[in-house]
Amino acid sequence: MPHSVSYGPTLPTSQAISSLRPLPAHAVRLSADGLLGGWQIRNADATLPHCISRLHTQGNLDNLRRVTGDFAGDFAGMWFADTDVYKTLEAALWERARSGGSSAFVADTAQLLEKAQDFDGYLNSYYQVDHRDRQWAELPSSHEMYTAGHLIQAAVAAARSASDTPAVQQILTVARRFADLLVRRFGTGGVDALDGHPEVETALVELYRVTGHRPYLDLAARFVGLRGHGLLGPDSRFRQRHYYQDHQPVRDATEVTGHVVRQVYLAAGAVDVAVETGDSALLNAAERLWESAIAAKTYLTGGQGSRHRDEAFGAPYELPPDRAYAETCAAIGGFHWAWRLLLATGRSRYADEMERLLYNGIAASTALDGTAFFYSNPLQLRTGHDGDDEDAPGRRLSWYSCACCPPNLARLMASLHTYTATGDPGGLQVHLYAPGTVTAGGHTIEVATAYPWEETVTISVTETTEAPWTLTLRVPAWCADAQLTVNGEPVDTAVRHQGYLGLTRTWLPGDRVELVLAMPPRLLAAHHRVDAVRGSVALTRGPLVYCLEQADLPGELDGIVLEDLELDARGPIGVITGAHPIAPVMLLTPVRAQSSADDELYLPLDAATPAATPPTAMPAIPYFLWANRAAGAMRVWIPLAPQDR
């Protein structure tokens, strides 16, 4: 059953509704000197080993050894701690497929899982030892199917690794036995039930794609269809049905709501079901939900989740930067959702969103060294922030008691190259720009660029068939001025299809395409309904959101706190390369300090306007690089001087 060619996550069948086709995983190689390729190396060298090490030290693997009788201690961590094992396993499998080599962790874990699994296929170290009596009895909170889903996704990675080691077979067998149990118990004619946390839907569709076994797809479709009918119980104090997205059938929903990770995982699963079952109404619903998120419930970084309470979406336009939850796993789930919609529809706005998430909401989660992580990703940290809650951080932590995010990052980064381009017999589509090579269908292109730091992307054809084919290039929505030449000849960039430029010709080795995506610094304002950032602007350049950090406060403003700065919108913004200890490209921001720090909290509007210092310049750095120096205040949204608003 394992493929003979490796693939990445999400591989729609040939019957699926699909505009774009994923390439084999080995078709894309990202260079280590690019940002994306560098992240893959860092993931392999630091994040993934760190995750594996933590599975040992935090007790996740011992939890499974309790089931096999090989460990006598207590259960450790969250009741869904097995998922950290599965996500790390999935990451290790993607990484092994990407870079080769073997992994003792994969082999050992596969054996352990095989040994721990019940005869009937059940596997969950929390319920198998101490809580047998509650097995399947508390689905709204048990995460049993959510956990099964991550096991299945590891098996999908195994099956797509073009490897046929015993471990690959073991993982697949274990996952299928669990999936078969789910089908028997919850499939057509079985119990009408749902897991409180979606995840298994997308996993089951992927397992169907790997195995061709239709009952997996049917079960996923059943779960998507059962949601929204109150199976998770009535509303109660502090826990409403919309928390689980169980308030309304998925195909009727018009607005993202509730717990963000649940919502985006569910939506991704709904897209998978929709494309494989040809259910265009469901696909439309998923697109409509996505639009509702982008229109009023998404941070400038792509982050989602405005409330710490319930890790939830807020009301439309409720987007406080300081209390942004913007969970790392939500950003990863949003990336998966957008990728599925991109494959289904071919619309560049989904790739735009993947890019925004990747360089901002996702990238910010990981420290420079790859071994410390944010769980939530606020857009502002105040001076005086208490900073100690695990999920309201002033700094990245090396691990979490709820450690969902680090291994989720590891599995995304290990497979990142598979999201950058797609292809079909008609040509290649490049979605995310990074130095490296793409080979498919007899064509090879070489991408040279310092994107996102620099504007130019150079694509050289190094190998090609003799027939004409189309090289398709995304023009990001943030770019107001795209210039294109082929072998030095300008090409009109005004004609685009769904946000893409298409170059159809008979290519020759040595052909050279140069795309220049102008990246002037931009000042963005939010919709007037976003009360939380009224009168403020955010700095962006290319796909990157910038921020101010207390550590960069210029000497002239010594003693000032970040909250007292305002941006002088009339001043020029400089683009500076290479002069900053953290940021390869920083922006030089014209700021002034207001000097009414000791004023009363509320004063008459006509009270004297506070004096401001003379303008000076302050570095703004890419948001994703914040909190890599001394702890201190940070902000993405910068107040404008009153006269500039």
Question: Dihedrals φ, ψ of 157, to 5°?
Answer: -60, -40
Least CB distance to a copy of itself at residue 247 (A): 9
Q: Could you give the CA distance from residue 315 to residue 63 in angstroms, rounded to a whole number? A: 39
Least CB distance to a copy of itself at residue 259 (A): 12
Count the residues in the chain.
645
Alpha-carbon 220 to chain mean position: 22
Which active-site residues does the annotation give?
311, 404
Residue 176 belongs to what H/E stretch?
A: helix 166-186
Choose which of 98, 385, 474, 592 interacts with a copy of itself (CB under 8 A): 385
Of 35-94, which residues contact a copy of itself (CB under 8 A)?
A: none
Does the protein bind a copy of itself through residue 246 (CB under 8 A)? no
Q: CB-wise, 221 or 538, nearer to a copy of itself? A: 538
Q: CB-wise, 545 or 625, nearer to a copy of itself? A: 545
Least CB distance to a copy of itself at residue 355 (A): 15
Q: Could you give the CA distance from residue 214 to residue 204 in angstroms, rounded to a whole number? A: 10
Of 474-533, which residues contact a copy of itself (CB under 8 A)?
A: 522-533
Q: CB-wise, 491 or 557, nearer to a copy of itself? A: 557
Does the protein bind a copy of itself through residue 360 (CB under 8 A)? no
Q: Could you give the CA distance from residue 4 to residue 178 in angstroms, rounded to a whole number? A: 24
Least CB distance to a copy of itself at residue 623 (A): 14
Does the protein bind a copy of itself through residue 432 (CB under 8 A)? no
Q: CB-wise, 136 or 317, nearer to a copy of itself? A: 317
Least CB distance to a copy of itself at residue 335 (A): 19
Tell me the residue type at 369.
D
Choose which of 610, 613, 615, 629 interacts with a copy of itself (CB under 8 A): 610
Least CB distance to a copy of itself at residue 360 (A): 12
How wide is the angle at C-alpha 584 spanned by C-alphas 409 and 461, nearest 5°?
75
Does the protein bind a copy of itself through residue 391 (CB under 8 A)? yes
Question: Dihedrals φ, ψ of 55, to 5°?
Answer: -60, -35
How far apart are the two ends of the chain, measured CA to CA in Å? 61
Task: Find tokens 């940021």 and name the residue.
Answer: 583
Least CB distance to a copy of itself at residue 396 (A): 16
- Could you list the beta-strand ranges (E) of 26-169: 28-30
- On whether the CB atoms of residues 181 and 125 are closer than 8 A, the answer is no
Does the protein bind a copy of itself through residue 340 (CB under 8 A)? no
Q: Could you give the CA distance from residue 519 to residue 546 in angstroms, rounded to a whole number? A: 13
Q: CB-wise, 115 or 522, nearer to a copy of itself? A: 522
Choose which of 100, 384, 578, 614 interacts with a copy of itself (CB under 8 A): 384
Of 625-644, which residues contact a copy of itself (CB under 8 A)?
A: 637, 639, 642
Q: CB-wise, 375 or 500, nearer to a copy of itself? A: 375
- C-alpha distance from residue 359 to each of 134, 173, 377, 416, 622 (Å): 42, 37, 13, 12, 9
Tokens matching residue 257: 């709501």
Least CB distance to a copy of itself at residue 243 (A): 10
Residue 180, classified by CB atoms within 10 Å of its CB into exposed (0-12), middle (13-18) or buried (19+), is middle
Q: CB-wise, 322 or 454, nearer to a copy of itself? A: 322
Choose which of 213, 563, 574, 629 interacts with a copy of itself (CB under 8 A): 563
User: How many other CB atoms are found less than 10 A from the CB of residue 446?
Assistant: 18
Specify the stretch interacting with a copy of itself by CB under 8 A; choose among 167-175, 200-208, 424-432, 590-598: 590-598
Q: CB-wise, 105 or 626, nearer to a copy of itself? A: 626
Of 536-555, which residues contact a copy of itself (CB under 8 A)?
A: 536-538
Of 283-322, which residues contact a copy of itself (CB under 8 A)?
A: 294-296, 298, 300, 307-309, 314-318, 320-322
- C-alpha distance from residue 395 to each of 301, 364, 418, 470, 634 (Å): 18, 11, 31, 46, 11
Q: CB-wise, 387 or 554, nearer to a copy of itself? A: 387
Number of shown-chain residues binding a copy of itself (CB under 8 A)? 75
- On whether the CB atoms of residues 620 and 589 are closer than 8 A, the answer is yes
User: How many other CB atoms are found less than 10 A from the CB of residue 509?
Assistant: 11
Of 221-240, which residues contact a copy of itself (CB under 8 A)?
A: 235, 237-238, 240
**Residue 326 region, left (φ>0) first, then alpha (ψ -120 to 50), else beta?**
left
Does the protein bind a copy of itself through residue 398 (CB under 8 A)? no
Q: Could you give the CA distance from residue 399 to residue 78 in angstroms, rounded to a whole number? A: 13
Q: Could you give the CA distance from residue 40 to residue 30 in angstroms, rounded to a whole number? A: 8
